[in-house]
Amino acid sequence: MTRVAAVDCGTNSIRLLVADPTADSAGLRDVRREMVVVRLGQGVDATGRFADGAIERTRVALAGYAATMRELGVERVDMVATSATRDAANRDDFFAMTAELLGKVVPGTVARVISGDEEARLSFRGAVGDLAPELGPFAVTDLGGGSTELVVGDEAGVTAAYSADVGCVRTTERCLAGDPPSGEEIVAASEFIAQRLAPAFAAVDVSSVRTWVGVAGTLTTLAALVAGLTEYDPARIHLSRVSLTDLHRVCWELVGMPRQQRATLGVMHPGRVDVIGAGALVTDALATQMHERAGITELVVSEHDILDGIALNLIQDRPE
């Protein structure tokens, strides 16, 4: 049995999954999941470079993950870097740091930048693994800090995918300076989101979709708020169903809240407090499009995402 580790380094957070294959190597058995908000993409949209502090925060988190992997006896590792790293001019500094730390686990391992298309396919693979095939075709949206992936497919695989350059960090930094944001800022953010999502829905036909699946921290947090949880519980969130009526309501409540009030919400991760409003605006726009184009009335929220897709590839030796 080969124990594997998947690391996903996005614009807002860095996450780790250590897993064993199931007996038939068709699935995963979780050993450890961890997440640290490092805000690697802080300022990248404006400067085109990683901030020194952002690289240091990521280094500290990754050093901890490397220690965990060694402790748990990981034999294979894959670390992917997504939106922020695709945009950064000084990404070689980032890769040198990852090579040093990951090489202590499995010699020669280094992070790799994946395209938006591969990010979308990996997210889809992880997100639909626990859903019955007859619920398809599926649309999966992975709402990150710098990008949002829209993917359509079924049990046979992905049929169309698009990575839009819009996410909770990028939208916050561009449009939402106020606390809470002003009406003018919200309008500007909504226009920016609509502009960035338009080519995604032009490229990906969702009209035949039967089930909309959402992954990543913004959507799982929104689901927890709709459920009225006082503390975050992944087991209750995974595969929960959220009506679009409730989703729209919670999105707009969050947009209007000051940061201090968001911070008091028991399910809110501290690293998400200042960007969840932008994430809510992106979610609201996605929900509107899914209803108008496919008649979707609810969102299925999955705790399994790109991490699971990366780990499945390691176990099954099927690079995208």
Q: Kind of pairing, strands 4-9 and 13-21?
A: antiparallel
CATH class of 4-116: alpha beta
**pLDDT of the residue at 45:** 80
State the pLDDT at residue 120.
84
As to burial, measured by CB atoms within 10 angstroms (0-12 exposed, 13-18 middle, 19+ buried), residue 148 is buried
CATH of domain 131-301: 3.30.420.150
Cβ contact 280:191 at 8 Å: no
Domain with CATH 3.30.420.150 in the chain: 131-301
Q: Which pLDDT score, from 0 to 100, does residue 83 have?
A: 66
**pTM of this structure:** 0.85
- Helix axes 116-127 and 306-316, enclosed angle (nearest 10): 90
Write down the pLDDT at residue 289: 98
Number of other CB atoms surrounding residue 320 within 10 Å: 15
pLDDT at 129: 86
pLDDT of residue 319: 41
Positions of CATH 3.30.420.40 in the chain: 4-116
Is the peptide bond preceding residue 107 cis, with omega within 30 degrees of 0? no
Q: How long a stretch of residues is the chain?
A: 320
- What would the two tokens of residue 284 be? 């609201």
Instruction: Write down the pLDDT at residue 316.
Output: 79
Mean pLDDT by 10 residues, the chain (320 residues): 92 93 84 93 86 94 97 96 80 92 94 86 90 95 91 92 92 94 96 97 97 95 96 94 98 95 94 94 98 98 93 73
Give CA separation, 59 vs 12, 16, 109, 270, in Å.
Answer: 14, 14, 15, 19
